[in-house]
Amino acid sequence: MRSFFIILFVTLLTLPAFSSSYSDFANDMKPAYLAWKQGLLTTKANNQKNSIKNVNKFLNHWKLLENKYKNNPPEELKQVESFSEDISNVTEVAGKALAEIKNGEVIEAHTTLEKVRYILWNLRAKAGIVTLGDKLNDYHEIMEMILEEVVLMENPGKLKMLAERQGLWLKIKWNEILSFMQQHDYEGKIIEDATKEKKAVEKFLNYAEQGNIDKAYMQSGPIKKNFKKVFFSEKVY
């Protein structure tokens, strides 16, 4: 009996985060997802030439994924009735963004590309699948909401209140991300950058708790910078 539990314990420790069928799907999606992230960067920078390159690459890789999986979803996603539609919707979004870029509407294309984030996030949520990318998406929404409030902040008292509520929310969410990364054996630079983000958030909260609007505003820069380093890592897909 003791040997059985030892074997079971070792087996549980070595189990992958997802079964092989979803892992295969995720690995096949990786080239498209990484190209999509580069498309976000270059459209945000209003760089038409590189945006055409990146979004075209994203579209081509995604079409390959669509052809392979649209009518043959991985086991974990078979329960999602909208799977085929969701996969096709990403293709449509990529095509629309590419057309906008070619038409000189690069900033508009950035907004269009953001839709991919929510399509894939919702798809996995319906299947009960949680990835690091989805946790980062969740954090990103909270981060943007809080930092936008700081830009408009004029009352030190309100900043202190923000620190006590939304600020703690931000801190908890990043702690969740760090724990997730450690549990799934992420290592190297992505962990270093994630640790820097944790410290940046703590520093921001310290300024906010003091009601120091100027320093809290200045600290939003490091928060965004460190977040981007983690999100745009090749280990996030």
Architecture of the domain delimited by 23-126: Up-down Bundle (1.20)
Instruction: Report angle CA 29, 225, 105 to the nearest 5 degrees.
Output: 65
Is residue 195 over pLDDT 80?
yes
What per-residue confidence (pLDDT) applies to 26?
A: 95
pLDDT tens figures, 98-122: 999 999 999 999 999 999 999 999 9
Percent of all residues in the chain with a pLDDT value above 70, rounded to a whole number: 92
- Contact indicator for 162, 149 with CB cutoff of 8 Å: yes
Burial pattern 24-53, b for ≥16 Cβ within 10 A else e, equals: ebbeebbbbbbbbbbbbebbeeeebebbbb
Matching fold, domains 23-126 and 132-231: yes
Average pLDDT over residues 208-236: 97
pLDDT averaged over the chain?
Answer: 92
pLDDT band per the 50, 70, 90 thresholds, residue 124? very high
Distances (CA, A) of 188 to 31, 43, 230: 21, 29, 11
What per-residue confidence (pLDDT) applies to 10?
A: 35
Using DSSP, state whether 155 is helix, strand or coil. Answer: coil
Topology at the third CATH level for domain 132-231: Four Helix Bundle (Hemerythrin (Met), subunit A) (1.20.120)
- Contact indicator for 159, 213 with CB cutoff of 8 Å: yes
What per-residue confidence (pLDDT) applies to 160?
A: 97
Q: Where are the domains positioned within the chain?
A: 23-126, 132-231
Is residue 3 over pLDDT 80?
no
What per-residue confidence (pLDDT) applies to 2?
A: 46
Distances (CA, A) of 69 to 78, 88, 138: 11, 11, 26
Give the pair of three-digit tokens for residue 12: 């549980």
pLDDT band per the 50, 70, 90 thresholds, residue 21? confident
Give the pair of three-digit tokens for residue 167: 């600020």
Give the pair of three-digit tokens for residue 133: 């990318």
Give the pair of three-digit tokens for residue 230: 């983690």
pLDDT band per the 50, 70, 90 thresholds, residue 4? very low
Q: Which residue has the higher pLDDT, 18 or 177?
A: 177
- Contact indicator for 208, 155 with CB cutoff of 8 Å: no
What per-residue confidence (pLDDT) applies to 11?
A: 35
pLDDT tens figures, 52-82: 999 999 999 999 999 999 999 999 999 999 9
pLDDT tens figures, 33-58: 999 999 999 999 999 999 999 999 99
pLDDT band per the 50, 70, 90 thresholds, residue 144? very high
Type of residue found at 140: H
Average pLDDT over residues 119-127: 96
